[in-house]
Structure 1
C-alpha cells in the first residue's frame, strides 16, 4: 500500500500512462481517461488533484510531489527528468519494466520471510489444540492419577495444566516480549545494528538478504541514471527506497566518497561484509568504461536469479526443520497417550 493506494492500482496507472504517452496521446488526455475508468476511491482523490494542477499549467512532477506517500521518489524523479529531456514516454516505459521487476522480487522476498512465521504459527496452533483440547479429554477418560502416569505423560500433563492455568500471563508476556523486541530492533540504533548483524551473518537468511538488497539497489540506481537523474540524486533516491540500515550506510558511504572526489567503488570497499567482491569489480568496470547503467542492469539481472535460488534454499532448509519439529511434537503427545494405555493393558493381563 502506498498512502492507502494498493500497489496493483499504481502499477495499472503507470502502465496505462506509459502506453498512452508512447502512442502519442497528450498527458492531460491520458490522465482524464484513466480517472474516468478508475474505481479506487483513495486514488480518485489523488487523480483529481493531479488533473487540476496539470490543467492549470503546473508541471506533472510538481502535481505528483503533493502525494509523496502515494508516488515513490524514484517515479517522481524520472517524471521530472522526462519533463526536462522531453522523453517522458520512453522513461515511463522503462520505469514500468523496473517497477514490475521490483514487485516480483519483493513478492519472492516477502514470501521467503513469511514462510517461517506461518510454519511457526501452525506448529503453535497444533501444539495448543493437542495439549489443551485432545490430551486433557484423553487423560480424563482414563481417570489417571499423577502417580500412575508414565514420565512422558506426566510431563505433558503438567505442561498442559500450566498453560491452562496461566494462559493470560503467557499471552501478556508474549505481547510484551514482541513489543520490546520490535522496539529494540527497529527503534534503537544499537539494537537495529545488532539485529542486522545477526541476520546478515546467518547462513541462509543472510545470503538471501544480501542478494535481495544488492538487486534492489542496483536496479533503482540503474533506472534513475538511465532516466538522466544526476548521480548524487539517484543515490539519495536509492537510500530512501531501501529501509535496511546496513545498505543505507553503504549508500551514504558511496555518496561521501563521491563528494570527496572518490568513486562508487571506494564506498563499496568499506562495506565488504555485505557487498560481494564481484559487485565491487563490476562497479569498477562500469566506472572505468563509462557504461555504468549497462553494468548495473547486468548485476541486477544476475542477482534477480540469485534471489530466486536463495528463496528456494530458505524454503528447502525450513521445510525439513519444520517436519522434524512437528514430528517431535506429535510423537511426544502420541507416546504420552499410548503408554498409559499399554500399562493399563498389561495390568489387566
Structure 2
C-alpha cells in the first residue's frame, strides 16, 4: 500500500486535493471515482517534489482545535439525523472542513467504511484528535442504534469542556500580561535608566544605599554574563519541557497545580465539574462504571487525578461501590462523594452527578470572579513595590548629593 497525492473536482465543481492510500495509481483513481470525484492529477508520494513535502509538513504541524472538533461533531450529528448515507455524509464533511489534517482523517475514515469497518474503528485510529471519551461514545451510539442522541451528549461534554478552558484562560490572561509587563519594565529600568545615574553616583564618591547597590550589582551581572544567562535560561527551559513530558514530571506538575494557593481551588473545581459531567453522561449512555473510570483516567487532563482513577478502578474490580473508593482519594470533595453515595443508594447516579456538575459549574464561575477580584490589588502591590524600589535606588543618592552641595 502506497500513498498518492491527488487533485480532483467534486460533483459540485469545486477543487479538492489531498492524499489517498492505494496499491497503485490506477487503484487511487478508482477510489477517487468511487467517491464521486473526477481525478485531474495523481502523483506517487515517494516521487513527489518539494511542494508535496511542504503539504505533508503542513499537515503534521496542523492541529484540530476544540472549536473545530465541536463544529465537526455538530455537522456529523445533523447529517446522521437527516438520514444522509454514511459515505455521502463523510464526503460532505470533507468538503466543508477547512482543516487539512481533519480532511485527511475523514478520507481515511471513508476508506475504512468502504472496507466494511465501523465509525468507531475509523475514529480510534487518530487518538490525538479523537479522545478515548469521543470514541467510546461513538461506539456506544453505534451499538445502541441511538447515535444522534449520543452525539448530542458528546457535544454537551465538548461544549462544557471548551467553556471551562475558555473561562480559565480568560481569568489567567490579565495577570499573565501584567506580570510580563512588570518583568519587561524591570529589565528596561535596570539596563537603561539605572546605569546613567550609577555613573554619576560613583563619581560623586557617595556611600550608596542598599537599593542602589542591588541595582548596580544586578546590572553588572547582566552585562558581564548575559550570554551565559541566555544559555542557562534556554537549557533550563528545554530541561523543564523534557521533564514535564515524563510520567513523573506530569504527575508532580499536576499535583502541584491542585495544591497551588488561590489557583489550586480553580483547578480542583474545574476538575470536579468535568468529572461529574462526563461521568453522568457516560452512565446515561449505558457505558459501564469500570469503562467510565478508564475513560476518565485518559481524558481528565490531570496526571494526579488519572492515577487516583486507576486506584479507584482497582477497588471497583474488587466489587466495592463507587463512593467508598472515591473517599480514599484526597482530590475528591465531600460534595462529590456524598452525591455519588446518594445516587448509588437511590439508583439515580446519573441525575445526582448532573446536579453535582451544575453545582461545580456555578462554583467555578464564583471562584474565577473571586480570583479576578483578588488579583487586581495583588498586582497593584507588586507594581507599587517595584516603583518604590527603583525610586529609592535613584532618589536616595540624589538627596545625599543635594545635601553635599549645600
Q: After TM superposition, is the score higher than 0.5?
A: yes
Q: Are the equivalent residues in 1 in contact too, given 2:206–2:400 (CA < 8 A)?
A: no
Q: Are the equivalent residues in 2 in contact too, given 1:250–1:267 (CA < 8 A)?
A: no
Aligned to 2:133: 74
1:86-97, aligned counterparts within 5 Å? 86-97=145-156
Aligned to 1:209: 267
Q: Are the equivalent residues in 2 in contact too, given 1:253–1:270 (CA < 8 A)?
A: no
Give the paired residue count. 346
Distance 1:182 1:257 in 2: 34
Aligned to 1:291: 348
Q: Are the equivalent residues in 1 in contact too, given 2:67–2:162 (CA < 8 A)?
A: no
Q: Against the structure 1 CA distance between its residues 71 and 186, is the aligned structure 2 distance closer, same or farther, given a 3 Å change threshold? A: closer
Aligned to 2:278: 220
Deviations 1:123-177 (A, max 9, x none): 221110110012223444x464273253132332222222222223333344444
Aligned to 1:106: 165
Distance 1:342 1:13 in 2: 68
Distance 1:150 1:22 in 2: 78
Q: Against the structure 1 CA distance between its residues 244 and 115, is the aligned structure 2 distance closer, same or farther, given a 3 Å change threshold? A: farther
Aligned to 1:18: 77
Q: Which runs of 5+ in 2 are unaligned?
A: 1-59
Aligned to 1:321: 378
Aligned to 1:253: 311
Distance 1:218 1:11 in 2: 20
Q: Are the equivalent residues in 2 in contact too, given 1:204–1:310 (CA < 8 A)?
A: no
SS of the residue corresponding to residue 129 of structure 2 reads coil
Q: Against the structure 1 CA distance between its residues 251 and 197, is the aligned structure 2 distance closer, same or farther, given a 3 Å change threshold? A: closer
Structure whose residues are more often strand by fraction: 2
Q: Against the structure 1 CA distance between its residues 63 and 215, is the aligned structure 2 distance closer, same or farther, given a 3 Å change threshold? A: same
TM superposition shift of 1:104: 0.9
Aligned to 2:123: 64
TM-score, normalised by the number of residues in structure 2: 0.77
Could you tell which deviates more after superposition, 50-59 or 77-86? 50-59
Q: Are the equivalent residues in 2 in contact too, given 1:2–1:69 (CA < 8 A)?
A: no
Distance 2:402 2:374 in 1: 42
Deviations 1:266-305 (A, max 9, x none): 111101x322212111001111111111111111111112
SS of the residue corresponding to residue 316 of structure 1 reads helix
Aligned to 1:306: 363
Aligned to 2:203: 145
Aligned to 1:282: 339
Q: Are the equivalent residues in 2 in contact too, given 1:3–1:70 (CA < 8 A)?
A: no
Q: Are the equivalent residues in 2 in contact too, given 1:226–1:293 (CA < 8 A)?
A: yes
Q: Are the equivalent residues in 1 in contact too, given 2:343–2:349 (CA < 8 A)?
A: yes
Residue 169 of structure 1 pairs with residue 228 of structure 2 = yes
Q: Which runs of 5+ in 1 are unaligned?
A: none
Aligned to 2:195: 136
Query: Relative contact order (C-alpha < 8 Å, sep 6+): which is higher?
Result: 1
TM superposition shift of 1:116: 4.9
Deviations 1:53-106 (A, max 9, x none): 223432111111221211111111111111111100111122112111111112
SS of the residue corresponding to residue 148 of structure 1 reads coil
Distance 1:183 1:38 in 2: 34
Q: Are the equivalent residues in 2 in contact too, given 1:186–1:192 (CA < 8 A)?
A: yes
Q: Are the equivalent residues in 1 in contact too, given 2:97–2:103 (CA < 8 A)?
A: yes
Aligned to 1:244: 302
TM superposition shift of 1:107: 2.1
Residue 48 of structure 1 pairs with residue 107 of structure 2 = yes
Q: Are the equivalent residues in 1 in contact too, given 2:157–2:277 (CA < 8 A)?
A: yes
1:332 paired residue among 371, 374, 389 = 389
Distance 1:29 1:192 in 2: 42
Q: Are the equivalent residues in 2 in contact too, given 1:146–1:154 (CA < 8 A)?
A: no
Q: CA RMSD in A?
A: 2.6
Could you tell which deviates more after superposition, 85-94 or 56-65? 56-65
TM-score, normalised by the number of residues in structure 1: 0.88
Q: Against the structure 1 CA distance between its residues 269 and 82, is the aligned structure 2 distance closer, same or farther, given a 3 Å change threshold? A: same
Distance 2:324 2:218 in 1: 57
